[in-house]
Amino acid sequence: MVLAVGTQFLSIPRNPVELVHGYNPAFDNVYTKPEITVSYGDWLADMTMSSIDYNRSILNGWGGLTFRYAALNDLELRTDRPTDNPLAYYNSSSFAIDGKYAKQFGIGKISTALRFISVQLYNEESNGFAADLSFQKNVNDKFNIGLALLNIGTMSELYQEQPKLPVRTIIGTTYKYSMGQLNNTVSAVLENSSLVEGLIVRASHISALDRIRFQIGSQFSDKNVSISGGISLHLGNVQFGYGVQIGSQALGIPQYLNLAVILP
* Cα–Cα distance for residue pair 76/219, rounded to 1 Å: 32
Number of neighbours of residue 73 by Cβ within 10 angstroms: 12
Classify residue 224 by its DSSP letter: -
pLDDT at 78: 59
CB burial of 124-160 (b: ≥16 within 10 Å; e: otherwise) equals: eebebebebebbbebeeeeebbbbbebbebebeebee
| Residue 264 burial (C-beta neighbours within 10 Å; 0-12, 13-18, 19+) | exposed
pLDDT at 23: 96
pLDDT at 160: 82
Number of domains in the chain: 1
Number of neighbours of residue 179 by Cβ within 10 angstroms: 8
pLDDT at 4: 42
Task: Indicate the helix (H) or strand (E) that contains 20.
Answer: helix 16-21
Walking along the chain (264 residues) 10 residues at a time, the average pLDDT comes out as 67 96 90 93 92 95 96 68 65 92 96 96 89 97 97 92 95 96 97 94 96 97 94 96 94 96 94
User: Residue 212's domain spans which residues?
Assistant: 2-262
pLDDT at 88: 59
Q: Residue 178: which residues within 8 A CB-CB, separation 6 or more?
A: 184
Closest listed residue to residue 138, CA positions, set 25, 17, 35, 21: 25
Give the start-end residues of each E strand in the chain: 35-42, 48-58, 61-77, 88-104, 109-121, 124-138, 143-155, 168-179, 182-193, 199-209, 212-220, 225-235, 238-247, 255-262
One-character DSSP codes across 109-157: EEEEEEEEEEEEETTEEEEEEEEEEEEEEE-SSSEEEEEEEEEEEEE--
pLDDT at 1: 36
Task: Indicate the helix (H) or strand (E) that contains 4.
Answer: helix 2-5
Max Cα–Cα distance, the chain, nearest Å: 66
CATH of the domain at 258: 2.40.160.40
pLDDT at 223: 85
* Cα–Cα distance for residue pair 147/162, rounded to 1 Å: 28
